[in-house]
Amino acid sequence: MTDVTTLFHEHHESLWRFLTRLTGDPDLAADAAQMAFIRCVETPPAPDNIRAWLFRVGRNAALEAARTDTRRTRLLAGGSARVPHSDPFPAADEEYATADRVRRVHTALARLNVRDRTVLLMREEGFAHREIAEAVNTTTGSVGTIVARALEKLATELRLDGELPT
């Protein structure tokens, strides 16, 4: 079995960031990431696909919690300050200049289905097509097509909301 402490240090930040972008809730993302590592201890995955396994388990835990926890949805809807940024918070003058673009991208991502969001966010985190395919239960050969279509949908959503962000 691989050392869980090492796995945690190697993958926790990336997993949490992915789950935060997927769910829009950093608290839910932290809980789901924790659940992924707990399950890794309880039922160790095969050593050749640990990263994809962690992301799949974390994704499933986050989606399950989101379906059953409406309180978190109300918190997000009621307080835009709780919506995470995909990058570290910018300086005050930069934040003012980019806040609308960030909101529009988050809104456009939220309009995508879960599979498309998952594929795009995993791609952004640097996952290989093989890892993405395993996480969303598809073939490696279809990941490129899914990515292309998801990017088209995202671009369409952004155009519907106004000018594309720069």
User: What DSSP string runs through 93-111?
Assistant: HHHHHHHHHHHHHHHHHHH
* pLDDT at res. 57: 94
* pLDDT at res. 95: 67
- Do 72 and 93 share a domain, yes or no? no
Compute CA distances 98 → 22, 116, 119, whole Å: 20, 24, 25
Count of Cβ atoms closer than 10 Å to residue 63 Cβ: 17
- Do 77 and 107 share a domain, yes or no? no
> For position 97, which CATH number holds?
1.10.10.10
Last residue of a domain, one of 35, 58, 84: 84
- Per residue in 44-57, pLDDT tens? 888 788 999 999 99
* pLDDT at res. 1: 45
* Tally of domains within the chain: 2
Compute CA distances 61 → 79, 98, 149, whole Å: 24, 31, 26
- Do 64 and 141 share a domain, yes or no? no
* pLDDT at res. 163: 55
Could you state, in chain order, the average pLDDT of each consecutive group of 10 residues for the chain (166 residues)?
81 94 90 93 85 93 81 60 60 70 86 93 92 93 94 89 54
What letter represents residue 3's amino acid? D
- Do 72 and 99 share a domain, yes or no? no
- Do 19 and 57 share a domain, yes or no? yes
- Do 101 and 67 share a domain, yes or no? no
Q: Which of 116, 146, 140, 142 is nearest to 128 (CA)?
A: 140
Rounded to whole angstroms, how far apart are CA atoms 105 and 73? 18
Structural domain harbouring 75: 1-84
Tokens standing for residue 94: 């930069």
